[in-house]
Structure 1
Amino acid sequence: MHETTEETGSTSWSELLSPSYSAATLTLCLGVALFAFNGFLVSTSLPTAVREIGGLELISWAFTLYLVLSIVGGASGALLKARVGARMALVGAALVFLAGTLIAAFAGSMTEVLIGRAFQGLGEGIIAAICYALIPELFPSRLVAKVFGAEAVVWAVAAFGGPLVSGLLTEHLSWRAAFLVNVPLAFIFIALVFYIVPRFSGEIARLSVPFLRLSAIGFGIMLVAFASIMQTVTTEVLCVLGAAAVLASVVVVDRRSRTPLFPSDAFALNSTVGIGLWIVLLMPVAQASTSVYLVMTLQNLWGYGPTKAGACNATFAIAWSTVAILVANIQDQRRRAWLIRLGPTLLVAGLATIVFGFFVDRPLVVMLGQIAIGTGFGVSWGFLSQSVMESARSGERDRASALLPTLQSVGYAIGAALAGLVANAVGYPEATTPVALRDATIIVFAASTVIGVGAFVAGFVLPTRKKNLLAIELRKQL
């Protein structure tokens, strides 16, 4: 009964920094920071690295390999946690990430940078997945939404601080120094893991490593990456369809496996976990077009400089983190269910607003659309993630939790590929006049709006009936 009282009691933000939870909060936020800052550090410093060591034709692979390996690592996170425990899995992954950082930082060729980036991706994918799986273990239910709010703040800080720090280091020291920022962060993370994550006390699970399924996931994401760089629309479509077939097959085979990577009801249309995972996937798929094309369009269509265009794009992260903090105190389950539905609604409304903003040639309207999208993620993402975690079947919570950040990365990869496919089909790269560029942009974001409708529908069919909530409460008491 003590646990039930704790779960339903009042809470404040200061509790995350109390002696009971401060180390856990810092550990999980630092795990997110490794991923968030690393992306911004590399994207800012890598062009300078290319000028020094060459390999311009390979620069896109520095991001592609990182993404593919991070998704593969994330997919294996729950399995590694079960086999060796969270502490050893996190320390091992951090060491892999650290090795990749050092290889890239002291690289003499772009090939060495790519090897380093692959190690970074693998390590960080595992770290992100296991950190998510640890959230319901280290924090009571009443604090989970606040943990997601704190992580949203880390992302917002990274969005501003990452390019600034990397730019200053690259300009005044070296691009290698920008890479090496990760080294002290990794060592601090390892020390915190030893302090906060308990030693694995159970028996080592005798689970086989599903190399075939993990390889298939990597191949599917690689097909998605190929789609974004293909020169013909037909080839792009074939790559996207091939990727969809491969990834769907992995899910089907995984359900029948004795060592599953995913929860048994992943993507099922009759459970909170299954439908919740669809929302987790579809929201980033729809939003990815703004990450890929908004800054570029603002610069080419309205003559924005890099700083001004980047600031407009960053309103998404600011809105997400600000709103996530504001709603984290809400404990009422009915209000949380309503906010989960509101998230995809604002996503669709925001994308439609961006379409309208380009149609009427009003930058302010476009910015309002970005804010609406960020608000949609902010009001729903923490509650949606917590709902998936707490609704998982017995023994499957780790797999459901670990899948969340991995699926988010998959969504962004697929969304970027689909946005590129649409952009190429409507002539965005060849647009040489403002009218042609605006028309192509409108179609790209309109297509994303249609994808967002899928998340909107899923939000309204997500099971949130009283018996669902009672089952969760009963599981907590047991």
Structure 2
Amino acid sequence: MTNTASGWAAIVSPRYLGATITLCLGVALLAFNGFLVSTALPTAVDELGGVALLSWATTVFLVFAIMGGAGAALLKARLGARRALIAAALVFLLGSLLASIAGSMPELLVGRALQGLGEGVVAAICYALIPELFPSALVPKVFGAESVVWALAAFGGPVLSGALTETLSWRAAFAVNLPIGVIFIGLVLWIVPSGLREKSSGRLPIIRLLLIGAAIMAVSLGGLLSSPVLTALCLLLAGTTLFAVIARDRTASVPLFPSHAFRFGNVVGAGLWVILLMPLAQAGVAVFLVYALQNIFGFAPTLAGVIGAVMAVVWSGTAILVANVPETTRPALIRLGPILLTAGLVTIAIAFAANLLPLVIVGQILIGAAYGTSWAYTSQTIMEAALPGERDRASALLPTIQSAGYGIGAAIAGLVANTAGIAAAGTGQQLAAALVVTFAASALLSLPAIAAARAMTIKS
């Protein structure tokens, strides 16, 4: 393959442009929806009441997105990629419509659940389609393009949501998904092949999917509790349940996961640990950084949000820079990612201990570079190392495991922060002390990812 055929121009050439737009739009539905809704929800609560249910609007979306993503490969196999994507997109559109016309918070939560379920399937299948629609040389470029989508969502999502909420209504932030979803369905009909459907007498593993949902719900509930003991119990329950589901899945006739999922001595198994552990460790910064910038450094919400989004911008820029490296260099980049993540988290902990804003930005740059250098190649390596017949399961799990990592990490960060006294912090200095402990704990949680990245590349 020539350099031209494998360069950036290739993914926007007539041959691949439609596929690039389709998969990026599928990811954009998830990315923009998260940032849009986070800005519009407070206004929705003011109108609908039910402030106690505010956090659940995010929780139910996450839970159902993970359940949908876990079952996406089976849906793709049984319905074909095109039918599965269209069905999931219709569920997402129904949820967006219900949320936009909701007359109460419970109705809004139903809409959010349907949004999560549909988008969980869409994002997972879009990942599974990357190695089907693009040659191996172009896969890193596609991941680079998708990282740009996330960066645009981080910046543009809150701005667009705020503008829609202020000039029209918070309902417009949900309704804007409707035309985008319709465009996505049109692209799917045009670009995505129907694919072969597999005949199977086995039923969908509903119980395992429900147990996964229950475990993530327990994690999310733990993150909302003020009692460290109850939070720890929720995390223990969730971990035990997920472990049992993975163990049962290995002997099931209709598995959800690839056969070597989470086995450290296998490329796919160790790789999935990287995909889980990096977001898990970084979640503490994602949850508390903008809050800390406002309450310790005194920044306005917009400026704090811009600094918080530095990570996403660096992620995108770094992913583009390394997308053309030789194949022999890729294992080193995979191993470098978690190391940079640890360095970034340590830097941010030091920054708050010393009250040095420039170090906060340096830490964000290191974290963004961690994902930019390693994420695409980690994902591609997992896809290509999957056993014959298991690539869809491995690929579709990537966004699902990533979301689960953020959810679990957010709950752990909340537990550590509460134990460190964040709720009782009455001054900026006390708040900083609690966050230093939280970010230091996050750095410790990133260390196993370094070992996992080494394990998945040791034979590369």
User: Into which bin does the TM-score normalised by the smaller protein fall?
Assistant: over 0.9
Q: Distance in 1 between matches of 2:201 and 2:191?
A: 26
Aligned to 2:363: 369
Question: Contact 1:24–1:138 at 8 Å: present in 2 too?
Answer: yes
How many residues get paired? Answer: 460
Which position in structure 1 is the counterpart of 2:350?
Answer: 356
CA–CA separation in structure 2 for the residues paired with 1:362 and 1:426? 21
1:125 aligned onto 2:123? no
Distance change in 2, residues 1:203/1:284 (3 Å): closer
Verify: 1:293 aligned to 2:288, yes or no: yes
Q: Please identify, of 49-58 and 363-372, the stretch whose mean Cα deviation from structure 2 is larger.
A: 49-58
Q: Distance in 1 between matches of 2:332 and 2:141?
A: 18
Match of 1:415 in 2: 409
> How far apart in 2 are the matches of 1:179 and 1:81?
27
Partner Cα separation in structure 2 for residue 154 and residue 45 of structure 1: 20
Q: Which ranges of structure 2 fall in alignment gaps of 5 or more residues?
A: none
Q: Aligned letter for 2:211?
A: A
User: Which residue number corresponds to residue 471 of structure 1?
Assistant: none
**Aligned pair 1:245/2:240, yes or no?**
yes
Partner of 2:158: 163
TM-score scaled by length of structure 2: 0.98
Query: Is this contact kept in 1: 2:77–2:198, CA < 8 A?
Result: no
State the AA in 2 paired with 1:415: G
Which residue number corresponds to residue 469 of structure 1? none
Q: Which of residues 309, 316, 324 in structure 1 aligns to 2:304?
A: 309
Deviations 1:314-373 (A, max 9, x none): 10001000100111111x222100000110000000000001111211001011001100
> Which among 311, 324, 342 is matched to residue 336 of structure 2?
342
For 1:329 and 1:428, locate their aligned partners in 2 and report how far apart those are by CA, in whole Å: 44
1:72 to 67, 70, 95: 67
Structure 1: tracts of 5 or more residues without a match: 467-478
Of stretches 196-205 and 367-376 in structure 1, the one that deviates more from structure 2 is 196-205
1:241-293 deviations in whole A, cap 9, x for unaligned?
11000001110000000100000000001111000000000000000011110
Aligned equivalents of 2:122, 2:202: Cα separation in 1 = 20
- Alignment of 1:234 onto 2:216: no
The separation in 2 between residues aligned to 1:152 and 1:320, in whole angstroms, is 7
Point out the more displaced range, 51-60 or 248-257. 51-60
- Paired position in structure 2 for 1:394: 388
Q: How does 1:191-270 map to 2 (within 5 A)?
A: 191-270=186-265
Q: Distance in 2 between the 1:418 and 1:180 partners?
A: 34
Aligned residue type for 1:433: T
Root-mean-square deviation (Å): 1.2
Q: How is 1:80-99 mapped onto 2 (pairs within 5 angstroms)?
A: 80-99=75-94
The answer as to whether partners of 1:82 and 1:205 remain within 8 angstroms in 2 is: no
SS of match in other structure, 1:324:
helix
Q: Distance in 1 between matches of 2:66 and 2:222?
A: 17
8 Å CA contact 1:77, 1:129 repeated in 2: yes
Q: CA deviation at 1:78?
A: 0.2
User: 1:200: how far off?
Assistant: 3.1
Question: Structure 1 residue 307: deviation in Å?
Answer: 1.1
Deviations 1:212-239 (A, max 9, x none): 1001000100110111111211111110
1:251–1:51 Cα change, 3 Å: same
**2:444, 2:241 → 1: CA distance?**
24
Aligned to 2:424: 430
The alpha carbon displacement at 1:298 in A equals 1.1
1:333 equivalent among 319, 327, 330: 327
C-alpha spacing 1:203/1:393, structure 2 compared with 1 (3 Å): closer
- State the Cα deviation string for residues 428-467 of structure 1 (Å, max 9, x = none): 121012221111110000000000111112122223425x
Q: Which residue of 1 aligns with 2:14?
A: 19
Distance in 2 of aligned mates of 1:270 and 1:324: 27
**CA shift in 2, pair 1:203/1:254, >3 Å:** closer
SS in 2 for 1:431: coil
Alignment of 1:451-470 (within 5 A): 451-465=445-459
Q: Report SS of the residue matched to 2:426.
A: coil
Q: Distance in 1 between matches of 2:342 and 2:183?
A: 40
- Residue 170 of structure 1 contacts residue 177 of structure 1 at CA under 8 Å; is this kept in 2? yes
In structure 1, C-alpha distance between the alignment counterparts of 2:403 and 2:365, rounded to whole Å: 21
1:283 aligns to 2:278 (yes or no): yes
CA distance in 1, matches of 2:250, 2:76: 19
Task: Render the CA deviation track for 1:144-176: whole Å, top value 9, x for unaligned.
Answer: 000000000000001111111111110011111
Q: In the alignment, is the contact (CA less than 8 A) between 1:355 and 1:442 conserved in 2?
A: yes
User: Deviations for 1:405-437, whole angstroms, at most 9, x for unmatched residues?
Assistant: 000000000000000000010101210122211
Q: Deviations over 1:94-140 (max 9, x none)?
A: 00000000000001111110000000000000001101000000000
How many Å separate the matches in 2 of 1:416 and 1:465? 33
Task: Measure, in 2, the Cα distance between the counterparts of 1:155 and 1:9.
Answer: 26
1:276–1:388 Cα contact (<8 Å) kept: yes
From 380, 398, 409, the equivalent of 1:404 is 398
2:440 to 446, 465, 472: 446
Query: What TM-score results when the alignment is normalised by the length of structure 1?
Result: 0.95
C-alpha change, 1:261 and 1:9, in structure 2 (3 Å) is farther
Q: Distance in 1 between matches of 2:128 and 2:138?
A: 15
- 1:206 Cα shift? 3.6
Deviation, structure 1 residue 204:
3.6
Partners of 1:461 and 1:428 lie apart in 2 by: 36
Distance in 2, Cα, partners of 1:281 & 1:371: 21
Q: Distance in 2 between matches of 1:201 and 1:365?
A: 52
Code of the residue aligned with 1:51 in structure 2: it is: D
Amino acid at match of 2:144: G
Q: Matched residues in 2 for 1:116 and 1:357: separation?
A: 40
